Amino acid sequence: MVKRKFNITIICLAILFAAIQPAFAQNAQELRLDSLETAQNDSVALNAAGNAAKKKSLDIKSMIFGHVGDSYEWNITKIGNKNIKIVLPVILISKRNGIHAFSFSKFAKNSGVYDGFHIAPAGSPYAGKIVEYDGNGKEVRPMMDISITRTTLAIFINGLLLLIIILSTAHWYLKHPDGKTSPKGFVGFMEMFIMMVENEIVKECVGPNYKKFSPYLLTAFFFILLSNVMGLLPCFPGGISITANISITLVLALFTFFITNVFGTKKYWKGILWPDVPVAMKAPLMQLIEFIGMLTKPFALMVRLFGNMLAGHMGMFIITCLIFIGATISPVMTGAMSVVSILLNVFMSLLELLVAFIQAYVFTMLSAVFIGLAQEKEVGEKEVVKK
Amino acid sequence: MSLLLPESGLIFWMFITFLVVFFILAKFGFPVITNMVNKRKEYIDRSLENADKANAKLADIQKASDEIVSKADKEQSRILREAAEEREKIISDAKKKAEIAAQKEIANAKETIKLQQEEATRSLRRDVSELAIEIAEKILRKKLDSEGEQMSMVDRMVDEAVNNKLN
- List, for residues A173-188, the tens digit of each pLDDT value: 888 887 778 888 899 9
- Tell me, yes or no, whether A320 and A332 share the same domain: yes
- Its sign, for the CA torsion B1, B3, B5, B7, is positive
Residue type at B151 in one-letter notation: M
Over residues A2-11, the pLDDT tens digits come to 556 666 665 6
Instruction: Please tell me the distance from the alpha carbon of residue A77 to that of residue A218, in angstroms, as a whole number.
Output: 34
Interface of B with A (CB under 8 A): 2-15, 17-18, 20-22, 24-26, 28-34, 36-37, 39-40, 43
- Where b means 16+ CB within 10 Å and e means fewer, B37-60 reads beebeeeeeeeeeeeeeeeeeeee
Instruction: Determine whether the interchain pair A173/B36 forms a contact, defined as Cβ–Cβ distance below 8 Å.
Output: yes
Give contacts of B8 with chain A, Cβ < 8 Å: 144-146
- Tell me, yes or no, whether A141 and A157 share the same domain: no
Structurally, chain A folds into a number of domains equal to 3
Under the banding of pLDDT at 50, 70 and 90, the label for residue A13 is low
Alpha carbon of A321: minimum distance to chain B alpha carbons (Å): 20
Over residues A83-115, the pLDDT tens digits come to 888 888 888 888 777 888 888 888 888 877 887
Under the banding of pLDDT at 50, 70 and 90, the label for residue A48 is very low
The verdict on residue A193 lying in a domain is yes
pLDDT at A302 over 80: yes
CB A304 within 8 A of CB A363: yes
- Tell me, yes or no, whether A279 and A296 share the same domain: yes
Q: Quick one: pLDDT at residue A74?
A: 84
Q: Quick one: pLDDT at residue A41?
A: 37
> Higher-confidence residue: A383 or A73?
A73
- Tell me, yes or no, whether A226 and A365 share the same domain: yes
pLDDT at A50 over 70: no
Could you tell me the residue range of the domain that residue A103 belongs to? 89-145
- Tell me, yes or no, whether A215 and A333 share the same domain: yes
Instruction: Please tell me the distance from the alpha carbon of residue A335 to that of residue A321, in angstroms, as a whole number.
Output: 13
Alpha carbon of A187: minimum distance to chain B alpha carbons (Å): 10
Over residues A121-142, the pLDDT tens digits come to 777 777 778 888 877 777 888 8
Cα angle for residues A362, A365, A366 (degrees, 5° grid): 85
Instruction: Please tell me the distance from the alpha carbon of residue A263 to that of residue A311, in angstroms, as a whole number.
Output: 34
The verdict on residue A259 lying in a domain is yes
Residue at which a domain ends, from A68, A86, A104: A86
Report ipTM (2 d.p.).
0.80
Q: Quick one: pLDDT at residue A9?
A: 63
| Mean pLDDT value of segment A295-304 | 93
The verdict on residue A16 lying in a domain is no
- Tell me, yes or no, whether A198 and A268 share the same domain: yes
SS3 B146: coil
The verdict on residue A72 lying in a domain is yes
Give contacts of A147 with chain B, Cβ < 8 Å: 9
Residue at which a domain ends, from A53, A86, A119: A86
Looking at every residue in chain B, the average pLDDT score rounds to 89
Q: Quick one: pLDDT at residue B49?
A: 95
Give the residues of chain B that fall short of pLDDT 50: none
Q: Quick one: pLDDT at residue B64?
A: 95
- Tell me, yes or no, whether A262 and A174 share the same domain: yes
DSSP 8-state assignment for residue A376: -
Q: Quick one: pLDDT at residue B15?
A: 94
Q: Quick one: pLDDT at residue B79?
A: 95
Query: Quick one: what percent of chain A has pLDDT higher than 70?
Result: 82
Give contacts of A246 with chain B, Cβ < 8 Å: 3-6
DSSP 8-state assignment for residue A199: I
| Mean pLDDT value of segment A221-229 | 93
Cα angle for residues A78, A83, A84 (degrees, 5° grid): 85
